[in-house]
Amino acid sequence: MSNPLLDNSTLPPFSSIKAEHVVAAISELIAESSKAVKDILASVDEPDWDNFVQPLDEVGNKLRKAWSPVGHMNAVVNSLELRKAYETCLPLLSEYYTEMGQNKELYDAYLKISEGADFKNLSETKRKIISNELRDFKLSGIALPAEKQKRYGELQKSLSELSSSYSNNVLDATMSWTRLVDSLDDLSGIPENALQAAAEAAKAKDLEGWLFTLEFPSYYPVMTHCSNRELRLEMYTAHVTRASAGGPDASKFDNSEKMEDILKLRHELAQLLGFNNFAEHSLATKMAPSTNAVLKFLNDLAERSLPQANSEIDVMKEFAASELGIEELNAWDTAFVAEKLRQHKYAISQEELRPYFAADRAVQGMFEIVNRLYGITFEQVEEFDSWHSDVRFYKILRDGQHIASFYLDLFARANKRGGAWMDECRCRMKNSDGELQLPVAYLVCNFTAPVGDDPALLTHTEIVTLFHEFGHGLHHTLTEVDELGVSGIGGVAWDAVELPSQIMENWCWEKEGLDLVAEHYKTGEQLPQAMIDKLLAAKNFNSAISMLRQLEMALFDFRMHCEYGTEAYKGIQGTLDEVRSKVSVIKAPKFNQFQNAFSHIFAGGYSAGYYSYKWAEVLSADAFSKFEEQGIFNRETGLEFLSSLLGRGGSADAAELFEKFRGRAPEVDALLRHSGINNA
């Protein structure tokens, strides 16, 4: 049987990839890679870039190219068979990468290059890659005795399996719960397009009525617009108890024990490597200089935001009581009350904006914005191999030359992980024969699909999400670095990796940007100036509350990983409760177990790193200030951003790249100004 994952093709042959191909291909490629590494080591006496690092990159690239579509399909077209194959491979890959990270011969060869007379003659990019490798060897336990190295491998393998299992529980819990409503009277206030989607969801299951789920496009309209408080409470309860011991699926997909195990193993791993805690371990590859610096940064932002947040919540409570008859504002009321108050104050709602944000038009407008900034164009490819009929594929062109590509998968559906993200399909690298592998990205969102004869219509919030993920995609695809280790997002400090995504959001809040993106899907009319004025006036509505919500999650994550194993540690729930007592202005009910579905830190790359969103937001706000000063479509500024930061990947330290663009170190004032927080 031919195996499509072994084709080493330019693009993945998605339609040919079956679950039964996965384990065989990955096992074969791991064995092949192990042998290739041994052969390279055996054949080289005096290692240098060309005879050692470059061949190793090409070995690693082949395995990455096969694994990329497997991990991607597991997220976007999940099935029991694929999940099982994916999970079978995780320990195999963990074991392989651990073995490579603890290979003393490899480490010695990199060390020899770094200490050699020719090291200074290498490019800055190549020197950075070798320095990163030596750092990562140390973080892989290269200096540990054999017994502790063995334990390190066991810890990594267990953590990989636990994270995957945690993520599966969240997906299963999200998919498990549905609510069928048989009377329109119970759905008062929900927008028509959301009702149509719910009716189609019911029909697809041969049910009468309206079917709601915990997927965001279904959940959000109920929580934001439905005047039926009991239904809001029911959906909120199901949502915040996912994968926990409480709620409608009590203990069925419970992540509680997995979370404890993850924290325990992370702490042991950090201490094994000589760190006091996992937060210190996390910062070894980040921009922030110390755990104290992160905590000071987060607490300072919280302190500056809290007075305004208290004022915002007081206004909400008063409005809820006087205008909506809600005497006690609860967590399942806040989105509903906030939306009503927003409409009351600014006479604008997300639903009013939808007709102006047809998905296709928004994408084309986004392309035009990027063209004006960086001089690149986009070409849609009609015939390509895909994992789903919703998916589109685009080439990116500069001066007519193909420089990169990306897949765009916009809509929510069953068996697709929630949220929005960008991931690597192919990374830019130049092979030893001079052939250039072009970068390819996956861009994934979970918007409401087209309903009836209408196109997919997005909210402005979803437009911001689209631009955010596209910013990540540009970071990956517009890289000008040819070396695999630091091209695109490779080697970029995790607390700086959100800078390119967050800066893109700004064009969604500028009239010149909105004029390119927004157009009424029936009349072709541009977004009226009066609506733009209201949208911009409402931009920072409840911004201090939003700031504190992010800081709550960041402080919970960081303190939990800092304090674990010390007398200060109060457990997962205890830490969350204490953080909430200091920074939360909306009281979470006791049954809220949001941490059980907090995949970012228990199953993603943000463990002891959730603070990165705010850290990078300081960078992005400050960087955008330069565009504000020189013109938001100033091509010269755009090309300067591309050449000094966006296109440089991880080829230099993030702080150095930022200062090259901005001419100075980052300052927090721009973030507070952009957020409309006045108690600075």
User: What residue ranges define each of the domains in the chain, with the CATH number in brackets?
Assistant: 4-101+103-139 (1.20.1050.40), 177-240 (no CATH), 256-348+542-610 (1.10.1370.10), 354-537 (1.10.1370.40)
pLDDT of residue 487: 98
Q: What is the pLDDT of residues 76-108, one digit of tens each?
A: 999 999 999 999 999 999 999 999 999 999 999
pLDDT in tens, 47-84: 999 999 999 999 999 999 999 999 999 999 999 999 99
Token reading at 15: 């339609």
Is the pLDDT confidence value at 290 over 70?
yes
State how beta strands 392-398 and 376-381 pair.
antiparallel
CB-based burial label for 588 (10 Å; 0-12, 13-18, 19+): middle
Query: From CA 106, how far away is CA 109, in angstroms rounded?
Result: 5
Q: Give the pLDDT of residue 669.
A: 87
CA distance 22 to 92: 12
Report DSSP state, residue 357.
B
State percent of the chain over pLDDT 90.
94
Rounded to the nearest 10 degrees, the angle between the axes of helix 229-240 and helix 216-225 is 140
Asked if pLDDT for residue 535 goes beyond 60, the answer is: yes
Q: Please tell me whether residue 309 adopts helix, strand or coil conformation.
A: helix
User: What is the pLDDT at residue 678?
Assistant: 78
pLDDT tens sequence across 352-388: 999 999 999 999 999 999 999 999 999 999 999 999 9
Confidence of residue 452 (pLDDT cuts 50, 70, 90): confident
567-623 pLDDT tens trace: 999 999 999 999 999 999 999 999 999 999 999 999 988 999 999 999 999 999 999
Tell me whether residue 469 is one of the annotated catalytic residues.
yes
**Of the listed 215, 312, 339, 469, which one is catalytic?**
469
pLDDT of residue 1: 62
382: CB partners within 8 A, 6+ apart: none
Q: Which amino acid is at 51?
A: N
Over pLDDT 70: what percentage of the chain? 100
By the 10 Å C-beta count (0-12 exposed, 13-18 middle, 19+ buried), 459 is classed as: buried
Give the Cα separation of 249 and 563 in Å (integer). Answer: 31
Instruction: Give the three-state DSSP class for 294.
Output: helix
Question: Per-residue pLDDT for 460 more than 70?
Answer: yes
Q: pLDDT-based confidence at 680, cuts 50/70/90?
A: very low
Q: Compute the mean pLDDT over every residue in the chain, rounded to the nearest whole number.
A: 96
Helix (H, G, I), strand (E, B) or coil at 634: coil
Instruction: Report DSSP letters for 136-163, one per residue.
Output: HHHHTTTTS-HHHHHHHHHHHHHHHHHH
Does 453 score more than 80 pLDDT?
A: yes
- What is d(CA 474, CA 398) in angstroms, rounded to the nearest whole number? 13
Burial of residue 290 (CB within 10 Å: 0-12, 13-18, 19+) is exposed
Residue 342 in this model has a pLDDT that exceeds 90: yes
Contact between 441 and 473 under an 8 Å Cβ cutoff? The reply is: yes
pLDDT of 489 > 90? The answer is yes
> First-to-last CA distance in the chain?
65
Q: DSSP readout, 406-467?
A: EEEEEE--TTS-SS-EEEEEE--EE-TTSPEEPPEEEEEEEEPPP-TTSPPB--HHHHHHHH
CA distance 171 to 42: 46
Residue 484: what pLDDT? 95
Burial of 160 (0-12, 13-18, 19+ CB in 10 A): buried
How many Cα neighbours within 13 Å face the side chain of 236?
21
> What pTM was estimated for this model as a whole?
0.87
